[in-house]
Amino acid sequence: MMKKYNLAIVGATGLVGREFIKIIESRNFPADSIQLLASDRNPGRKILTGRGEMLVHETTPASFENIDIAVFIAGAEIAKYFVPLAMQSGAMVLDTSSAFRTGDSVPLVVPEVNPQDVENHKGIIANPNCSTIQLSVVLHPLNRVNRIMRVVVSTYQSVSGAGSTGTDELTRQTKTVIEGKTPIPHVFPHQIAFNVVPEVDVFMDNGYTREEFRLTDETRRVLHDAELSISATCVRVPVYVGHCQAVHIELTKPMAPDEARQILASAPGIKILDDPGVSLYPQPWSVAGSDEVLVGRVRQDIDRPTGLVLWTAADNLRKGTALNAIQILEESIKRGCL
Amino acid sequence: MMKKYNLAIVGATGLVGREFIKIIESRNFPADSIQLLASDRNPGRKILTGRGEMLVHETTPASFENIDIAVFIAGAEIAKYFVPLAMQSGAMVLDTSSAFRTGDSVPLVVPEVNPQDVENHKGIIANPNCSTIQLSVVLHPLNRVNRIMRVVVSTYQSVSGAGSTGTDELTRQTKTVIEGKTPIPHVFPHQIAFNVVPEVDVFMDNGYTREEFRLTDETRRVLHDAELSISATCVRVPVYVGHCQAVHIELTKPMAPDEARQILASAPGIKILDDPGVSLYPQPWSVAGSDEVLVGRVRQDIDRPTGLVLWTAADNLRKGTALNAIQILEESIKRGCL
């Protein structure tokens, strides 16, 4: 009989947390018990799940007793405090925040790309940033047959990347603008309704944002290619769910768009939506709820035979975070390292 | 005494047409008479201008009698039909559509970049595409001191690029979505409210859109650099006014961001907005009504010393179209070729 696990989900009430619970159920993840944890702001809160209404408990140092797997879907600050406690209690930790991603001792895994890395975990595995997952799933199959030398990527990231406070802000600001008034920004540094904001996470001294740096650094680590050159511009757009990326790639050898489409179509986690004649290409509103990274507008660079240009979209709450996290756990079980 | 000109404005009732009339007045353009022309859909329509309420006339073959300058701010189809008639009547034509841009005999002018080209006109000068103007104003001063080898640009283009039908569609669709209903697209190929659409103008056989091709082809022509390598992805975003561009540049030699900022700050038509520490960078909502291309987020490429990354915004109705057109006329007058 398959082993079953006692799960704790820290950050269960957030957008990604609720998506995680849904996916756990739909994929029949072997959970024996599920403990929903959140901050102490919502004591006594209940969430409706496939197992009925479930009480959300406050996260405390004692929350991880008898827990096999602790999934952190909260911010980096919460992870920094509670992850060591969960590990001390003997739980294996999967963290979706950026708190433990940079250490070389913590595997950073996209199951379609580097599943074998789960075997190296020392009690914790990190889920990469949503933009990294979306990019690396697409780069990996191409890179295997025709090494990628350089990537320039510009993102169009939805407000749900900032959680439900982000989606609430977009709704509130949109209504304010439609009424002819000027909205006041709270969650994002500037008005996001009817605007685009080229600032996702904080700026570093080199002029890139942390989000842009992560897209460079994490993608290299997931692809095991420290030499890969990536430059990114990350931009928040007034979209609820679904991140898009304009990806300009330089390969070692020329590759025809048809070949690229075939390689991508047979790669895991990718769905091709590419028929410009009928305006078929990935878009945020068509990607919400999708498990795959959608890829379209595959074309040879107009000026470089070794260049390839793509347009992709992914559900940042699912493949971007919750689904990838569950896939990591499934891969760990399959490989007997959980 | 300065010569004054009899002007005809074809497409006077559109978003750009009305912007053109405003700028003509604010810059004291030497207009003797102004004839406002439009399609026959709005007979008897009046527009409020600095000269009072002015009647809009239907465009007919006889509209260009005694006209010195005919400015076409209409679609390519209207331009194709009426431009030859205007030229036959002896008017000098300035066309903002794409109808006559591709011919080598028609100068394509961005006054900050190639003002001298107005002298080569044979009765007609073309205004480049709004995205071309925005990009070339920024590339030119850098290219003069440190030749640009390659540009990868991704755009974030507002709906006003499609005229008032575009802005109306965004408003209508936004209200529909807020009411919890599904909007039906008319102007854009897909829903534009709370979505991004990677299709601006029609697709070509090579997988690029015409808008993307223009950004490559026209920028080369304006910069007089047929060797310049440019690859573009053009995307429509749910923003009313103001186009943004993420511009990844490869120069011949390294250039420090401070040097780039100094070069750009002293170049015509550019305003630097670049202080990440206080979230200061170009955005659509801050560029509306601005005459300059705003430039910010200037940084050295994280992986390439010869790489430079910028983020720009321009008012697509003003510098993107109407203002550039008026600057072309002013330059032509200054050089005595009008």
Considering only CB atoms, B196 lies closest to which of A156, A207, A216, namely A156
For residue B262, the model assigns a pLDDT of: 98
| A310 to chain B, closest Cα gap in Å | 9
Inter-chain touch A281–B207, beta carbons under 8 Å: no
Size of interface A-B (CB pairs under 8 A): 168
Residue whose pair of structure tokens reads 């807020």 in the numeric block: B178
Please indicate if any CB of chain B lies within 8 Å of the CB of A237: yes
Query: Is residue A88 within 8 Å of residue A66, measured between CB atoms?
Result: no
What is the identity of the amino acid at A69? I
Please indicate if any CB of chain A lies within 8 Å of the CB of B174: yes
Considering only CB atoms, B196 lies closest to which of A194, A239, A257, namely A239
Average pLDDT over residues A207-216: 97
Q: Using CA atoms, how far apart are residues B222 and B228, in angstroms rounded to an integer?
A: 11
Going residue by residue through chain B (338 aa), what tens digit of pLDDT does each one get? Answer: 689 999 999 999 999 999 999 999 999 999 999 999 998 777 788 988 888 899 999 999 999 999 999 999 999 999 999 999 999 999 999 999 999 998 789 999 999 999 999 999 999 999 999 999 999 999 999 999 999 999 999 999 999 999 999 999 999 999 999 999 999 999 999 999 999 999 999 999 999 999 999 999 999 999 999 999 999 999 999 999 999 999 999 999 999 999 999 999 999 999 999 999 999 999 998 898 999 999 999 999 999 999 999 999 999 999 999 999 999 999 999 999 98
Q: How confident is the model at residue A243 (pLDDT cuts 50, 70, 90)?
A: very high
- The string of DSSP letters for B187-240 reads SSSS--TT--B--SSPBPTTS-BHHHHHHHHHHHHHTT-TT-EEEEE--B-S-S
B48-54 contacts, C-beta under 8 A, 24 or more apart: B49/B21, B49/B22, B49/B25, B50/B22, B50/B25, B51/B25
Q: Using CA atoms, how far apart are residues A206 and A155, in angstroms rounded to an integer?
A: 19
B173, exposed or middle or buried, with CB in 10 Å at 0-12, 13-18, 19+?
buried
The correct CATH number of A5-128+321-334 out of 1.10.510.10, 3.40.50.720, 3.40.50.1240, 3.30.70.20 is 3.40.50.720
Per the annotation, the verdict on B337 as an active-site residue is no
- Give me the half-sphere count of Cα atoms (radius 13 Å) on the Cβ side of residue A37: 24
Q: Using CA atoms, how far apart are residues B184 and B223, in angstroms rounded to an integer?
A: 41
By CA distance, what is A234's nearest residue in B?
A: B246
Query: Is residue A329 within 8 Å of residue A94, measured between CB atoms?
Result: yes
Q: How confident is the model at residue A223 (pLDDT cuts 50, 70, 90)?
A: very high
Task: Inform me whether the pLDDT recorded for A2 exceeds 90.
Answer: no
| A332 to chain B, closest Cα gap in Å | 34
For residue B144, the model assigns a pLDDT of: 97
* ipTM, 2 dp: 0.96
CATH class of A132-316: alpha beta
| Domain definitions of chain A by residue range | 5-128+321-334, 132-316
By CA distance, what is B239's nearest residue in A?
A: A194
Inter-chain touch B231–A307, beta carbons under 8 Å: yes
Q: Which of A46-60, A192-206, A252-266 has the lowest mean pLDDT?
A: A46-60
Distances (CA, A) of A74 to A70, A88, A130: 12, 19, 14
Q: Could you tell me the strand order of the sheet in which A124-126 lies?
A: A46-49, A52-58, A31-38, A5-10, A69-72, A92-95, A124-126
Q: Using CA atoms, how far apart are residues B318 and B79, in angstroms rounded to an integer?
A: 20
| B75 to chain A, closest Cα gap in Å | 22
Please indicate if any CB of chain B lies within 8 Å of the CB of A156: yes
Task: Inform me whether the pLDDT recorded for A215 exceeds 80.
Answer: yes
Q: How confident is the model at residue A1 (pLDDT cuts 50, 70, 90)?
A: low
Task: Pick the residue of B149, B151, B154 with the most A CBs within 10 A to test the interface with A by mutation.
Answer: B154
Inter-chain touch A194–B244, beta carbons under 8 Å: no
Residues of A with a known catalytic role: 130, 243
Please indicate if any CB of chain A lies within 8 Å of the CB of B299: yes
pTM attached to this predicted model: 0.96
Inter-chain touch A198–B311, beta carbons under 8 Å: yes
* CATH topology assigned to domain B132-315: Dihydrodipicolinate Reductase; domain 2 (3.30.360)
| A229 to chain B, closest Cα gap in Å | 6
Please indicate if any CB of chain A lies within 8 Å of the CB of B201: no
Question: For residue B151, which of B205, B200, B104, B217 has the smallest C-alpha distance?
Answer: B217
Sign of the alpha-carbon dihedral angle for A209, A161, A330, A247: negative
